[in-house]
């Protein structure tokens, strides 16, 4: 069941169990339901969400990840035309929960959550993604 504090739409949270959105959805691996989001092997990142209304908040992003590539779960934000990021790395052959938290300043004009991969030719599966405002 989706946490009511989760800011992400059902497509991202459920890994495509409710709808596919703009993601590649697969039933090859899942933690929650029958499906997960899979990268399309064309880029070294997978953007999970973007939001222009999140600022002056503390955020925590968590995701269940299964991958053959190392990488990082990231929260990026833009302030005065510059991009900042907070990342939590994971190793290749990672299977499990990864979490990252960031303090988003009031001047932030865009926040986006992303998975960055070391090797874009490797598959990554993502499921049970949560983005919450810390109280």
In a domain, 16, yes or no: yes
Q: What would the mean pLDDT of 117-135 be, rounded to a whole number?
A: 94
In a domain, 53, yes or no: yes
CATH code for the domain of 35: 2.60.120.260
Q: How far apart are CA 10 and CA 98, in angstroms?
A: 19
Task: Give the residue numbers spanning the domain of 32.
Answer: 10-133
In a domain, 4, yes or no: no
In a domain, 89, yes or no: yes
The pLDDT of residue 1 is above 70: no
Q: How far apart are CA 5 and CA 109, in angstroms?
A: 22
Q: How far apart are CA 79 and CA 130, in angstroms?
A: 23
In a domain, 2, yes or no: no
In a domain, 5, yes or no: no
Q: What is the pLDDT of residues 63-121, one digit of tens each?
A: 999 999 999 999 999 999 999 999 999 999 989 999 999 999 999 999 999 999 999 99
Q: How far apart are CA 23 and CA 15, in angstroms?
A: 9
């Amino acid at each position: 069941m989706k946490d009511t504090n989760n800011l992400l739409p059902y497509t991202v949270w459920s890994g495509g169990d409710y709808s596919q959105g703009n993601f590649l959805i697969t039933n090859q691996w899942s933690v929650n339901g029958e499906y997960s989001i899979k990268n399309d092997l064309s880029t070294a990142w997978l953007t999970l969400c973007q939001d222009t209304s999140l600022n002056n908040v503390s955020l925590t992003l968590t995701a269940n990840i299964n991958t053959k590539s190392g990488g990082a779960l990231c929260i990026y934000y833009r302030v005065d035309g510059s991009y900042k990021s907070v990342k939590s790395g994971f190793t290749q052959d990672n299977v499990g929960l990864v979490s990252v938290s960031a303090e988003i300043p009031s001047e932030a004009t865009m926040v986006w959550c992303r998975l960055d991969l070391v090797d874009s030719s490797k598959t990554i599966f993502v499921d049970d993604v949560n983005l919450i405002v810390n109280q």
